[in-house]
Structure formats: structure tokens, C-alpha cells
């Protein structure tokens, strides 16, 4: 029987965030996707934040995970209300798994409108932490570095809200995780953009 898969590339990378705030329970399969670019451009008017989004781009790639998808899931649709579910060609994905068949379909949450982060709708560290701890769970340091280097828009408004986290679907991290993430961010040279 054909299955559907969602390419997760933001907070859905975190197993803790997925389990607490969606009904996705299956295995996360590490994957790379070509023809799409991850950017800090998805504005949440309700949550006053800017999240990563995916936009079509012929000569770029990004890392993420394939997640078993039930498109009728209202919880997931509510979580991804600032995106549209768009089809992805299997030929644009690179992954290793026996769980996927040739008849399966693949989807991505595509950004509806592009808006750069600003002081009213900033990138928040609690969201960054959720994405990056998910990357680390999936592929260690290399996956975190790939996320940072293939994501555009870090130079826009970015606030450290760790003392009072504002991302509602965040992963709850320990102090050691924060130190790990900051070390990885510092090694990429991107941490200088955070206020």
C-alpha cells in the first residue's frame, strides 16, 4: 500500500516537538532534498515570530527527515497553517530506507509568503534550539552544520528568548544542550547575528 511522507526541515526535526505537538509517531528517515531552499521567511502573525520556510530553488539543497504523513491529520494541519503542502519528486530526494516504496508520495510544507524576520517578527532562539537539537538527534554535528549553512536569512532580527521561551512547540532542552548548540553555532560563525 502506498504511503505518504513529509519532508521535515524545521521544528519537525525534533522528536520531542513532533510527539508533543503533532500525531507523527513513526520513524524519522534522514534525507537531503534538492531543488528547494530553506530560508527564514515564514511569518506567524499570531505568534509574532519568523520561522524557516521552503521555497523552490533549482540549484540548492537542504537536509531534513522524511516523516510518515497522514494528510487528514488536523493537528498537523493546524501546526503548519502558515504553509501549504506541496508535492516533491522522489528523484529530488536522497535517503536510505527500506520503508519507502516506488509508489509512495512525498510532500513539503512550502512557504505561502516570504517575509524577512524583523524586530516585530524575529527569529527566536527557542525555535532555533528546537530545530538544531532535532538536527543533532538525526545526524550529529554534521547535520547541524548543514542546517546552518544551507539556511538563508540569519542576518535578520534574531533574539535570545531562552530565559522566557516564546516558541509554543519548542523542545525542552537541558543546559548541556544549550552549550552544545552555542558551540556549534559559534563554530559556524553564525552566532554573531543573535541579539
- pLDDT bracket for residue 9 (50, 70, 90): very high
Beta bridge partners of residue 54, listed in sequence order: 38, 110
Could you give the CA distance from residue 73 to residue 57 in angstroms, rounded to a whole number?
Answer: 28
- In the chain, the percentage of residues whose pLDDT exceeds 90 is 62
C-alpha dist (Å) from residue 142 to 18, 21, 147, 153? 22, 26, 9, 20
Set of cell numbers at residue 181 = 548548540
pLDDT over 60 (residue 71):
no
Q: What is the pLDDT of residue 2?
A: 73
Mean pLDDT, the chain, whole residue set: 89
Q: Which of 47-51, 85-89, 110-114, 179-183 has the highest mean pLDDT?
A: 47-51
The more confident residue out of 49 and 79 is 49
For 45-90, strand residue ranges (E) read: 49-68, 83-88
pLDDT in tens, 153-180: 999 999 999 999 999 999 988 888 899 8
Cα separation, 107 vs 173, whole angstroms: 29
| Residue 84 scores a pLDDT above 90 | no
Of the two residues 195 and 11, the one the predictor is more confident about is 11
- Structural domains of the chain, with CATH: 4-193 (3.10.490.10)
Cβ density class 2-36: b for 16+ within 10 Å, e for less: eeebbbbbbbbbbbbbbeebbebeeebbbbebbbb
Amino acid at each position: 500500500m502506498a504511503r505518504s511522507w513529509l519532508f521535515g526541515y524545521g521544528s519537525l526535526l525534533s522528536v520531542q516537538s513532533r510527539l508533543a505537538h503533532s500525531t507523527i509517531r513513526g520513524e524519522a528517515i534522514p534525507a537531503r532534498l534538492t531543488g528547494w531552499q530553506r530560508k527564514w521567511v515564514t511569518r506567524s502573525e499570531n505568534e509574532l515570530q519568523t520561522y524557516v520556510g521552503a521555497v523552490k530553488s533549482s540549484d540548492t539543497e537542504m537536509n531534513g527527515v522524511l516523516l510518515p504523513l497522514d494528510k487528514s491529520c488536523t493537528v498537523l494541519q493546524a501546526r503548519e497553517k502558515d504553509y501549504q503542502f506541496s508535492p516533491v519528486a522522489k528523484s529530488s530526494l536522497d535517503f536510505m530506507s527500506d520503508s519507502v516504496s516506488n509508489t509512495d508520495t512525498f510532500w513539503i510544507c512550502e512557504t505561502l509568503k516570504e517575509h524577512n524576520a524583523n524586530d516585530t517578527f524575529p527569529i527566536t532562539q527557542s525555535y532555533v534550539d528546537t530545530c538544531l537539537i532535532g538536527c543533532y538527534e538525526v545526524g550529529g554535528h554534521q547535520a547541524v552544520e548543514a542546517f546552518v549553512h544551507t539556511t538563508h536569512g540569519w542576518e535578520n532580527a534574531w533574539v535570545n528568548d531562552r530565559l522566557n521561551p516564546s516558541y509554543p512547540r519548542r523542545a525542552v532542552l537541558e543546559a548541556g544542550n544549550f552549550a552544545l548548540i552555542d558551540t556549534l553555532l559559534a563554530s559556524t560563525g553564525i552566532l554573531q547575528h543573535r541579539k
